[in-house]
Amino acid sequence: MTIYNFGAGPAVLPREVLLEAQAELLDFRGCGMSIMEISHRGSLFQNLYEEIESDFRMLLSIPSTYRVLFMQGGATAQFAIVPINLLRGKRQADYVVTGEWGQKAVSEAARFCTVRYAADMQPSGFDDVPDVIETDPSSAYLHYTSNETIRGIEFKAIPEAQGLPLVCDMSSNILSRPVDITRFGLVYAGAQKNIGPSGLTLVVVREDLMGEVLPQQSRLFDYRQVASQKSMLNTPPTFAIYMAGLVFRWLKRQGGLVAMQCLNERKAKKLYDYIDSSSLYVCRVKARARSCMNVAFYLRDELLNSRFLSDAEKAGLMQLRGHKLAGGMRASIYNAMPEEGVDALVAFMTEFERLNG
């Protein structure tokens, strides 16, 4: 039986990538050692690192005025590292909150500055993106979450930053479609959805925003220091970086981000169209904000939840339980989820509805 993994993260990786890693696990590029066993300072790893950064830059068309940093601590560490670096003498930052991750970013930033809500979608129960974002010119930056993983809320367009540097937590939809990096001051993403295994966080930061860090911070949290040491102030997560490199090469072979966008939109449409046409399932997110990565839905009869989950597992459809804050179900259909996985899920849901609806 084919297993399809709909987990939100750590998430499914392309099978081809796992097979490649398996094939060279004991002997990386003929050196007789595993990639996990070689020094990050040696030329073998250094060359690999250059290739990986350059593939990532190519995929996202990152201009030379931006630095790419390979950091640790997850997106959660960036919730603090962003204000530590980007306040630059200011005392306030603007945040757009469209879900729980944005809220977490706010509570961390509030330890360093006054947080101003440029838009807060909590009062409407997190089911949409805002119509209006109001910034304050005295704020240091505007932060938003391009895809809220828990309830499946995605911005389809980049918000207007109204003169502030725009900062984006892109953890759960980075590399799912092309984006214009020049619209951003900084983008960050934990790796464990569309990039690779957990333990790695990618940061893309405009050069002129670096260098004015809050006092008494570790050098590890100073973007300029991290950039000047090519992300190797200390030992980087070498295996996670290597895996990310395999994923970037896989993405290039798939036709890059234009091809991914086309596939991702097709997969998501199949699932949302089916949910909308059914009388057993319901999606509570407004159509314009429905995520192409995390499809959150509910069974109208919640008493059927556990039967749905156990029958799904018997059919090889894993990790469909919704986040505990949202309840219901969530199908994460990142880049590496093949279209056949979505077809199998729709077929299962149709049959489940026929038997239980």
Ligand X SMILES: Cc1ncc(COP(=O)(O)O)c(C=O)c1O
193 assigned to active site:
yes
Phi, psi of 120 (to 5 degrees): -135, 115
Q: What minimum distance in Å lies between the beta carbon of 211 and ligand X?
A: 25
Is position 293 an interface residue for ligand X (rule: CB under 6 A)? no
Burial of 66 (0-12, 13-18, 19+ CB in 10 A): buried
- Nearest residue to ligand X, scored by beta-carbon proximity: 74
Stretch that binds ligand X, among 168-176, 177-185, 262-270, 285-293 (CB under 6 A): 168-176
Nearest to ligand X of 38, 167 (CB atom): 167
Is position 172 an interface residue for ligand X (rule: CB under 6 A)? yes
Q: What minimum distance in Å lies between the beta carbon of 201 and ligand X?
A: 6
Q: What minimum distance in Å lies between the beta carbon of 315 and ligand X?
A: 26
**Are the C-beta atoms of residues 214 and 112 closer than 8 Å to each other?**
yes
Of 4, 5, 6, 9, the residue at the interface with ligand X (CB under 6 A) is: 9
Phi, psi of 176 (to 5 degrees): -90, -15
Phi, psi of 286 (to 5 degrees): -60, 145
Q: What minimum distance in Å lies between the beta carbon of 75 and ligand X?
A: 3
Paired strand residues for 94: 116, 142
250 assigned to active site:
no
C-alpha distances (whole Å) from 63 to each of 144, 181, 208 are 22, 8, 13
Is position 237 an interface residue for ligand X (rule: CB under 6 A)? no
Paired strand residues for 117: 95
Stretch that binds ligand X, among 71-79, 136-144, 157-165, 258-266 (CB under 6 A): 71-79
Q: What minimum distance in Å lies between the beta carbon of 88 and ligand X?
A: 23
Q: What minimum distance in Å lies between the beta carbon of 326 and ligand X?
A: 12
Nearest to ligand X of 190, 328 (CB atom): 190
Is position 190 an interface residue for ligand X (rule: CB under 6 A)? yes
Nearest to ligand X of 190, 196 (CB atom): 190
**Are the C-beta atoms of residues 293 and 278 closer than 8 Å to each other?**
no
Query: What angle, rounded to 10 degrees, do the helices at 238-254 and 256-277 form?
Result: 80
Question: Buried (b) or exposed (e) across 182-214, using 16+ Cβ within 10 A?
Answer: eebbbbbbbbbbbbbbbbbbbbbbbeebbeebb
Q: What minimum distance in Å lies between the beta carbon of 105 and ligand X?
A: 7
Stretch that binds ligand X, among 48-56, 167-175, 334-342, 348-356 (CB under 6 A): 167-175
- 11: closest CA among 323, 319, 343? 319
Is position 135 an interface residue for ligand X (rule: CB under 6 A)? no
- Helical H segments across 170-304, by residue range: 223-228, 238-254, 256-277
267 assigned to active site:
no
Is position 75 an interface residue for ligand X (rule: CB under 6 A)? yes
Is position 169 an interface residue for ligand X (rule: CB under 6 A)? yes
Is position 197 an interface residue for ligand X (rule: CB under 6 A)? no
How far is the first Cα of the chain from the last one, in angstroms, to the nearest whole number? 26
Stretch that binds ligand X, among 68-76, 113-121, 122-130, 349-357 (CB under 6 A): 68-76
Residue with tokens 């757009």: 96
Is position 85 an interface residue for ligand X (rule: CB under 6 A)? no
The site for ligand X, by CB under 6 A, has a size of 11
Token pair listed for 296: 């959150």
The 3-state secondary structure of 92-143 reads EEEEEECCHHHHHHHHHHCCCCEEEEEEECHHHCCCCCCCCCCCCCCCCCEE
Stretch that binds ligand X, among 21-29, 41-49, 74-82, 87-95 (CB under 6 A): 74-82
Of 101, 155, 242, 248, the residue at the interface with ligand X (CB under 6 A) is: 101
Catalytic residues: 101, 169, 193
Interacting residues with ligand X (CB under 6 A): 9, 74-76, 101, 145, 149, 169, 171-172, 190
